[in-house]
Amino acid sequence: MPSERSLVVEFSIVPVGTQGTSLSEYVARACEAAKRSGVNYQLTPMCTVFEAGSLDQAFEVIRAAHEAVLEAGAERVLTSIRIDDRKDKKRTMEDKVRAVEERLSKQDPHR
């Protein structure tokens, strides 16, 4: 069994106490922090997902993004985290999506 861990991490940061309803500036700051960390990440409409090799790395990325949103002017920040921590085999975000898409294409050959 491989000893390398494979983590896919999802996080969402909600700034509270902002001047308006648009959050794109805060999301951009969080993404910039993820990008600076060097992890492979993907922005989605509702969260950010990234790959990490350890829990320490995962929490460092999330902490940097959390702090970046506070530094951008949010008075309060709510951060939600979900972690898929796999030890049996290395999987990437793309692998996980591809596995589902392959199953869907077998069910619907027109896909």
Give the pLDDT band of residue 20 (cuts 50, 70, 90). confident
Q: List CB contacts of 9: < 8 A, sequence separation 6 or more.
A: 49, 50, 51, 52, 58, 61, 62, 81, 82, 83, 84
- Residue 97: C-alpha distances to residues 69, 88, 92, 93, 102 (Å): 29, 18, 9, 6, 9
What is the pTM for the complete model shown? 0.85
Q: What is the pLDDT of residues 27-56, one digit of tens each?
A: 999 999 999 999 999 999 999 999 999 999
Distances (CA, A) of 34 to 17, 21, 101, 106: 23, 23, 27, 35
Name residues whose C-beta falls within 8 Å of residue 57's C-beta, 6 or more positions apart in sequence: 7, 37, 39
Set out the domains of the chain in order of their start, with CATH numbers.
6-107 (3.30.70.930)
